[in-house]
Amino acid sequence: MLTLRGMDKFIIEFLENAQCLNSDPEPDDGEKNKGHGMYGKATRKKNLKSMAWEVVFYSVFMTLLICIAFDNRDDRSYGFHSSILAAADPKGNISRMSTPAEMFGWARDHLTPFLYGTMSWDNSTLLDTRRVTASLASYRLGPTRIRQHRTSPEPCKSPNQLRPFNVRCVPSWSSSDHDWADYLPEWTLEDEDNSLSDGSRSPWQYSRWADIGGTPVAGRLGVYPNGGYVQDMTGTLDEVNACLTQLQRLHWIDEWTKVVFIETTIYTPNINMFAMITAIFEFPQAMVIHAQLYTHPFK
């Protein structure tokens, strides 16, 4: 049992301890720096832990995506892709093109003979060439389409430093300079007295997405919207080549052209696979081509 003297001593010590607890003495600079250092260390540890969990999560997510893609792949798609490239561009000339004339020549000499079959297995003439390709194993779905996007022919301003050299300014591709106007052949502006009013689609008139469908296409120099100045190439091989020749003769591609697409889709029933074929011809400079050929097999 506590005596009276012991009780007094206990109460005094309790009050002194309570006073120390209630007081808030000002820490010195060393204690402040130590506190900040401990807080910063705890914060960094927390951030590192959060980053580690994010890395683990995204690693697992990417692993699942790779497994799903690998499981859904078709072993025949690579062979299908290679056979299309070998037939449409056997010499690999498309990557070495530099002028529109070379583009039209490649389309007439290699692409259209592959897409529009004319001879049977026994070298006899095919009676029905509306859909079959030269391999006789694939069929075209819809027409082969050639389309382009242009910049507006309104004059642009050259930098002051280049004006003494009489350099002609040609704007680069951008949505703000996108040409939407309707023209007559050879890019003559339409007027009320002279216009195409028969209702048919003309490669000199702009076609919007609602008219032709499609999705934006990403090239090496930019992303291009759907729509554009479109020519659907239908008929026999001779008719399609005549259409290409006429477009070239009427200067359908000129210095204001920024990108040209040749697009088609084929189907091979033997392996039950489709393939989208897209040739992209970009013009970083007036009348200079940067070309590439894409094939996308799918089911």
Contact call for residues 172 and 222 (beta carbons, < 8 A): no
List the one residue out of 162, 123, 134, 115 whose CA is nearest residue 295.
115
Indicate the average pLDDT of the chain: 81
Contact call for residues 170 and 157 (beta carbons, < 8 A): no
Q: Which residues contact 105 (CB under 8 A, 6 or more apart)?
A: none
pLDDT in tens, 113-166: 999 988 887 777 877 666 889 888 899 998 899 999 999 877 676 677 766 766
* pLDDT computed for residue 41 by the predictor: 73
* pLDDT computed for residue 115 by the predictor: 94
**What are the per-10-residue average pLDDT scores of the chain (299 residues)?**
52 52 50 58 78 88 83 79 92 89 95 89 74 90 93 74 68 78 90 59 90 87 91 91 96 93 95 94 83 91
pLDDT in tens, 226-260: 999 999 998 889 999 999 999 999 999 998 999 99
* pLDDT computed for residue 30 by the predictor: 54
Task: Provide the 10 A C-beta neighbour count for residue 294.
Answer: 14
